[in-house]
Amino acid sequence: MTKTKKLEMELPKEGRFISSEFPILRENLSKIDQAIAEVEEKVEGKAPAKHTHSIGDVADLEATLKSKMAADKTFTLTDLSDVEGAKDAANNYVFYKASNNHFTFGSAVSLLGSHQHKIEDIVGLDKFRAKLNEDLTAYGHLKQANEWQSYNKFTSKVTINGGLELLGNSSFNLTHNGEVVTSLSATGSTLKGPLKVDGEAVYTKNEATTALQEIRRELAKLTKRTMLTPLEILITESGPISLPDGVTDNTNIEIWAWGGGGSGGGNTGGGGGGGGCARIQIKGSELKKSRNIQIGRGGKSGDGGKTIIEGLLIAGGGGAGGFSSRGNGGSAGDKYYGGTGGGYFPNSTSFNGSDSTFSGGGGGSYGKKVGAGGHGGNSTFGGGGGSSGDENVKGGYSGKGGNGGNSGSNNAGGGGGYFPGKSGDDGGDGGDGAILLKFFI
């Protein structure tokens, strides 16, 4: 059933009999008639479109009109915005027109500007001149021999022969614009600076003390920079790092690490490779993030282990020396490998291990044919390579790590780590690695 929106009258429906629509139409017409009657009733209670009100019938109108300025109100000069200085003008000031159509007050003298008068027109001038002459007559006069009056004023240069003597605790003050610039007395003298002597500035005691303190501080800093000795900690066991007192996030730290050396190849075998070396410089904040370390052990019938600071560096271990075969290659570090183990070569002469800077020295190789060779390779910073199983051959030298082991009883020497590799007589094991921490506190 569809209805109108306002009066909710039922609308005709298509297909319905006319006889059914008449009662509905009758009801709707009644609703419309009733609505029109209500509208007329409400309209009759409204005012005409054109009508008047008394002042009292308009809310707040009378109070608003009373707060307005009266038509006959008068103003003083101080009430006007285009009159300047009326409130602050001194007595006897005159009123005059200034620029931009404003009015202000000023003294009559200022308005007259520069002008001249005749002597006879100046009131009291003769009396003033007589008093001035009297003062000039007495000016600078000594009360008696060698004794000045209590107050004397000089307007020109004063020359004193024979020096100036201050009696008793008297002081001698030089003033300028009411301020004492020099004060001399037997108990202490003052001088307003800055003072220069022969054009050079003279420092006060406080200024000199401050300058000396600054020099001492700079010398202390320079001494600390040039003579600073780091706190060194050598770590030979795996586990967490214990930081010494005084280490901050900004502390400079230098870290050296060596992998373990590889073992020698036994009788007539190749020497063990030296452990690789790694070096970094970091701040304390970086080391605090990675506190666990692993120390690479020297190989016992095998390769040397890696030395690791988690997330910071890896120093590779040396490879084991070979017996009846080539030796093992060293394990990888961050940049440099452990040294390669020496091998066994039945169809060639013995030859020396390779030299290196940060990687481990190579192990010496054993050859069945007669010839000189078989020494371990040298390394500037990594471990030295072990010697081959030849007689009278030497392990490689290391400038900062452990040397390679020498041969003994035809047994090959172990490669050096941080510690030296063992000789062939002593089993030929590789030297253990280590970590060296340097704290610049």
pLDDT at residue 260, rounded to an integer:
96
- Global pTM value: 0.50
Residues with Cβ within 8 Å of 68's Cβ and at least 6 positions away in sequence, in order, are none
Band (43; pLDDT cuts 50, 70, 90): confident
d(C-alpha 137, C-alpha 43), whole Å: 110
Evaluate if residue 32 carries a pLDDT over 60.
Answer: yes
pLDDT at residue 338, rounded to an integer:
84
Please give the share of the chain, as a percent, with pLDDT higher than 90. Answer: 31
pLDDT at residue 227, rounded to an integer:
56
- What share of residues in the chain are helix, strand, coil (percent, to 5)? 20, 20, 60
pLDDT at residue 336, rounded to an integer:
76
- Phi, psi (5° rounding) for residue 103? -120, 145
Cross-strand pairs, 308: 294, 314
d(C-alpha 374, C-alpha 353), whole Å: 7
| Cα torsion 245, 246, 247, 248: sign | positive
More confident residue, 140 or 28: 28
Nearest to 383 by CA among 231, 197, 258: 258
Q: What is the DSSP string of 175-239?
A: EETTEEEEEEETT--EE-S-EEETTEEE--HHHHHHHHHHHHHHHHHHHHHHH---EEEEE-S-E
pLDDT at residue 137, rounded to an integer:
58
Band (142; pLDDT cuts 50, 70, 90): very low
Pick from 31-35, 100-104, 149-153: least confident? 149-153
d(C-alpha 365, C-alpha 350), whole Å: 5
Evaluate if residue 194 carries a pLDDT over 80.
Answer: no
pLDDT at residue 275, rounded to an integer:
95
Tokens of 278: 């790694």
Which amino acid is present at 405? Answer: G
- Phi, psi (5° rounding) for residue 21? -75, -30
Pick from 159-168, 301-310, 316-325: least confident? 159-168
Over residues 199-211, mean pLDDT = 80
CB 307 within 8 A of CB 280: no
Tokens of 1: 């059933």
Evaluate if residue 261 carries a pLDDT over 80.
Answer: yes
Per the listing, tokens 């600078």 go with 140
Evaluate if residue 400 carries a pLDDT over 90.
Answer: yes
From residue 180, alpha-carbon distances to 156, 186, 187, 379 in Å are 19, 17, 17, 79
Over residues 81-108, mean pLDDT = 72
pLDDT at residue 86, rounded to an integer:
66
Evaluate if residue 178 carries a pLDDT over 80.
Answer: no
pLDDT at residue 35, rounded to an integer:
83
d(C-alpha 338, C-alpha 304), whole Å: 8
d(C-alpha 379, C-alpha 340), whole Å: 12
pLDDT digits (tens, 9 = 90+) for 406-430: 998 889 999 999 999 999 999 899 9
pLDDT at residue 80, rounded to an integer:
67
Evaluate if residue 123 carries a pLDDT over 60.
Answer: yes
If residue 174 lies in a helix (H) or strand (E), which one and from where to where? strand 171-176
Evaluate if residue 266 carries a pLDDT over 80.
Answer: yes
* Mean pLDDT taken over the chain: 82
CB 383 within 8 A of CB 315: no
pLDDT at residue 331, rounded to an integer:
66
Evaluate if residue 67 carries a pLDDT over 50.
Answer: yes
Over residues 220-238, mean pLDDT = 79
Evaluate if residue 225 carries a pLDDT over 50.
Answer: yes
